[in-house]
Structure 1
Amino acid sequence: MSRLSPATAWALYDWANSAFATVVMAGFFPLFFKQFWAGSLPTPESTFWLGLTMTLASLVLILMAPMVGGLADALGWRKRILFQFTLLGAGATGALWLLPAGAWVWALILYGVASLAFMASNIAYDALLPAVAEPDQFGPVSSRGFALGYLGGGVVFALCVGMTLQPGWFGLTDATQAVSLSFLLTGLWWLLFSLPLMRRVVEHGPVSRPQVADAMRASLGQWRASWHHLRAEPRALTFLVAYWLYIDGVDTIIRMAVDYGLSIGLPSDGLILALLIVQFVGFPATLLYGKLAGRIGMARAIFAGLAAYVLILLWATRMDSALEFYLLAVGVGLVQGGVQALSRAYFARLTPPGREGEFFAFYNMLGKFAALFGPILVGALTLASSDHRIGMLAVLPLFVGGAWLLWLTERLGKCARQKEEAQ
């Protein structure tokens, strides 16, 4: 571990927490919750409680994110806050292993706590990017993190899927025991691979630190102060709106893909395979995407990714076979990680020194708002046209609008540089 560079140690946290995103959030929890913990509840009721839990976790994050970011900046506590939320999230995830059948209330409580901790830890994690890389390396280092996240999430998810398909190979009695054990394995994975960051990344705190009590009091009014600071940075504010739009489109495609796959008759095990394809294609593709950004610039590379998403979307509206669904998964894997990684790196360049936690609090909040408009637009257009394929085209305005605002962000930067040169 001592030989790891700070940048690699930082990137390994993506490897660590992506296990939760892949195994728990996207993979096993929704299915296991309905079939094991909430099996006695009617399906609509279990769906309601699961959705309510995620909504409440997101609302709590929205309320606390500016305070967490402001406190991290004021006290230089980004690593401390990151590790505290990691302990909370990994502990809650591992505790799911202990719950018996029917314990749906406790399952939701632990899942809500783990989800909140996962989202909150990313505020401090993203804010540490300037501590491990110079601005010209933000793109490659951020891409390395997302690439390791895809690989790590894919590896542990493949292991957990293998345990459920062949429990006897692992000394387990059945698939139920295997899924339950997967939660413990995910919690331990998350905690273990966060240790390199804690040991190798050196955080440079503020020159003068306020008293903890004063910083706590100041953080309570952080919403208004953060909004004032963000308005003073028009490029950062414009990019945040652009990011909100196009990442909404990205997440809508991800979330609608499963429903779309089922609509063309793809079996559930095929959907798991498609998810694994995205994970393992995403690993090398994200690294290559970072190199592409080094040659053509981060903004142009993001534009290229958004253009690819438009083509993927148009292709999806004409898709009618399982093979095409798998090819679509490959296409998503080629660009998804690159767009996510370069967006984080691009925004890191726009954040004023000393306000990384504060600004990334807004960045992560908007990321959690992703897929807010997309599903509604898709549903409305599908209802109006009575054609699911036409409904998918409703996502196009999100990519177009996001691309236009990204172009406007670049124009603002160019104008600012011309003004400085003129002076």
Structure 2
Amino acid sequence: MKKNNPSIINAWCMYDWANSVHALVIVSSIFPVYFSATALAASGSGQVDFFGFQIKSSVLFSYTVSVSFLITALLVPICTAIADYTGTKKRFMQLFCYTGALSCILLYFFTKETLLPSIFLFGLSLIGWSGSIVFYDSYLPEIATEDNFDRISARGFSMGYLGSVLLLLFNLSMVLFPDFYGITQKSLPARISFFTVGIWWVLFAQIPFYYLPKGNRGKQQSGNWIFNGFAQLRKVYTRLREQPYLAKFLSAFFIYTMGLRTVMYVATIFGATELRLPSQSLIITVLLIQLVGIAGSYTFAWLSGQIGNIYALMIGVFIWIGICTGAYYTTEAMEFYVIACTVGMVMGGIQSLSRSTFSKLIPENVTDTASYFSFYDVTEKLAIVVGTFIYGFVEQLTGSMRNSILALLVIFVLGLVLLSRIPSRKLYHFELETKEN
């Protein structure tokens, strides 16, 4: 396939447009607020009876994220191995996409009477979303050349931010002005929002599904497909020994992603529970984060071109250390809004750069890109599992989310230290040119 084809690149970016509404509406804004309010209405105390165990709703939310991504981490290696073997990468991407979207549609029936089934649907939507992303990401080195990775990755994230903002504006108008739509039932605007996420996701995903190639059929492999996925991971791990920079990057990526992605999933819960901000303020804050995130993605792509990906990532992680420090001392709504804007500037930028940096570090002429990105994805998902579990466990142990934020601060410091062990690729090339001259 010819690389840097504008039609294929535009179609690839459209999957960010399609799926990012899940991250914004379901994970970051309307669903967490609705979940907290519904759990409070169901019990009167915010404690949820989960199969005989009394657990705080915010902790249950964190644990659901942890378990969902753990399941994804177990499924992805098997699926990517089969996809590389049979050349059905796009079919697996569709399978996870439709699973996640259908789960969102079924959340329309989320009430206090259906709280437990709905938390399972939320978890299933996370599995569908995260599972589709690994196949989506693996197309990047196949459709573009290395010099365009940063720009195209940033473009995808920016389109995701823009598309999700458009849908959130519509959903937010229903939440804030239900009378305009003739809605009288209090819970209906939120439940319609969950439904629209699923529909939006499915409809716009048809564009990349039409243009992206099915996938390259790999070499004939022996053995059981189920175990072949984990054998493929072991194969990639063996190659890491020959590529020390890739191994060091994945170690740093695992650590700082623990903090970054945990913040994504619990920030709204923190604002609602710890600061007791009204639902409308929280949703507007998340909307603001998305708008700032568009500029942030392109800013970090530009910055990587000036100083290299690793140094740009280090700057981003250093800012995250400041964010955690500020969040720990935050008591006022305005302080929370300032921190939220800062989060928007660095969140998309670091995610975009992480994806493009990994793409650059993959050896040239590799055909089993889905398997390589399954290793990247498993690393990311395990980081989310550990991060959200630590956050929920510290809160459960101490009774305060602020102590959980301190744990995240330590994680980001460690991530910064690990990144500092990797020479900037731009600096590395400059040193080589100097020696040649």
TM-score range, shorter chain: 0.7 to 0.9
How far did 1:374 drift? 7.4
Distance 1:173 1:387 in 2: 36
Q: Which amino acid aligns with 1:404?
A: V
Q: Which amino acid aligns with 2:148?
A: Q
Query: 1:265 and 1:117, CA in 2 relative to 1: closer, same or farther beyond 3 A?
Result: closer
Give % identity.
Answer: 28
How far did 1:317 drift? 4.0
Distance 1:298 1:252 in 2: 23
Distance 1:89 1:139 in 2: 27
Aligned equivalent of 1:172, options 178, 183, 190: 183
After TM superposition, the structure 1 stretch with the greater mean CA deviation from structure 2, 170-179 or 187-196, is 170-179
How far did 1:120 drift? 0.7
SS of the aligned residue for 1:232 comes to helix
The reply on whether 1:163 has 2:174 as its aligned counterpart is yes
After TM superposition, the structure 1 stretch with the greater mean CA deviation from structure 2, 253-262 or 291-300, is 253-262
Distance 1:93 1:118 in 2: 10
SS of the aligned residue for 2:49 comes to helix
Q: Is this contact kept in 2: 1:57–1:113, CA < 8 A?
A: yes
Aligned equivalent of 1:96, options 100, 104, 107: 107
SS of the aligned residue for 1:44 comes to strand
Q: Is this contact kept in 1: 2:290–2:344, CA < 8 A?
A: yes
SS of the aligned residue for 2:108 comes to helix
Instruction: Find the counterpart in structure 2 of residue 227 from structure 1.
Output: 234
How far did 1:339 drift? 0.4
Q: Which amino acid aligns with 2:411?
A: L
What is the TM-score when the length of structure 1 is the normalising length?
0.84
Distance 1:166 1:209 in 2: 57
Aligned equivalent of 2:98, options 70, 87, 111: 87
Instruction: Find the counterpart in structure 1 of residue 261 from structure 2.
Output: 251
What is the TM-score when the length of structure 2 is the normalising length?
0.82
The reply on whether 1:45 has 2:49 as its aligned counterpart is yes
Query: 1:44 and 1:141, CA in 2 relative to 1: closer, same or farther beyond 3 A?
Result: same
Q: Is this contact kept in 2: 1:374–1:394, CA < 8 A?
A: no
The superposition leaves residues 265-311 of structure 1 with CA deviations (integer Å, 9 ceiling, x where unpaired) of 54343222221111111112212322222232222211121122223
SS of the aligned residue for 1:102 comes to helix
Q: Which amino acid aligns with 1:347?
A: F
Distance 2:396 2:43 in 1: 30
C-alpha RMSD of the superposition: 3.5
Distance 1:269 1:311 in 2: 26
SS of the aligned residue for 1:205 comes to coil
Distance 1:92 1:266 in 2: 28
Q: Which amino acid aligns with 1:227?
A: R
Instruction: Find the counterpart in structure 2 of residue 324 from structure 1.
Output: 335
The reply on whether 1:236 has 2:246 as its aligned counterpart is yes
Query: 1:414 and 1:205, CA in 2 relative to 1: closer, same or farther beyond 3 A?
Result: same
Instruction: Find the counterpart in structure 1 of residue 139 from structure 2.
Output: 128
Aligned equivalent of 2:31, options 29, 36, 55: 29
Q: Is this contact kept in 1: 2:63–2:389, CA < 8 A?
A: no
How far did 1:378 drift? 9.8
User: Where does structure 2 lack aligned partners over 5 or more consecutive residues?
Assistant: 51-56
Q: Which amino acid aligns with 2:195?
A: L
The superposition leaves residues 311-347 of structure 1 with CA deviations (integer Å, 9 ceiling, x where unpaired) of 3333334444322221111111111100010001101
Query: 1:378 and 1:170, CA in 2 relative to 1: closer, same or farther beyond 3 A?
Result: closer
Instruction: Find the counterpart in structure 1 of residue 289 from structure 2.
Output: 278
Distance 1:401 1:28 in 2: 32
Distance 1:51 1:256 in 2: 7
Instruction: Find the counterpart in structure 2 of residue 11 from structure 1.
Output: 13
SS of the aligned residue for 1:174 comes to coil
How far did 1:365 drift? 2.4
Q: Is this contact kept in 1: 2:42–2:112, CA < 8 A?
A: no
What is the correspondence of 1:56-205 to structure 2 with a 5 Å cutoff? Answer: 56-98=67-109, 102-202=113-213, 205=216
How far did 1:76 drift? 2.5
Q: Which amino acid aligns with 1:20?
A: H
How far did 1:194 drift? 0.9
Distance 2:298 2:331 in 1: 31
Aligned equivalent of 1:218, options 225, 234, 257: 225
Distance 1:364 1:331 in 2: 26
Distance 1:296 1:338 in 2: 14
Distance 2:380 2:337 in 1: 26
How far did 1:33 drift? 4.6
How far did 1:7 drift? 1.4
Query: 1:130 and 1:154, CA in 2 relative to 1: closer, same or farther beyond 3 A?
Result: same
Q: Which amino acid aligns with 2:310?
A: A
Aligned equivalent of 1:376, options 387, 390, 393: 390
Distance 1:99 1:219 in 2: 35
Q: Which amino acid aligns with 1:397?
A: V
Query: 1:254 and 1:226, CA in 2 relative to 1: closer, same or farther beyond 3 A?
Result: closer
What is the correspondence of 1:273-352 to structure 2 with a 5 Å cutoff? Answer: 273-352=284-363
Query: 1:292 and 1:181, CA in 2 relative to 1: closer, same or farther beyond 3 A?
Result: same
The superposition leaves residues 166-224 of structure 1 with CA deviations (integer Å, 9 ceiling, x where unpaired) of 12222333332222221221111001111221122235514x554xxx67823423213
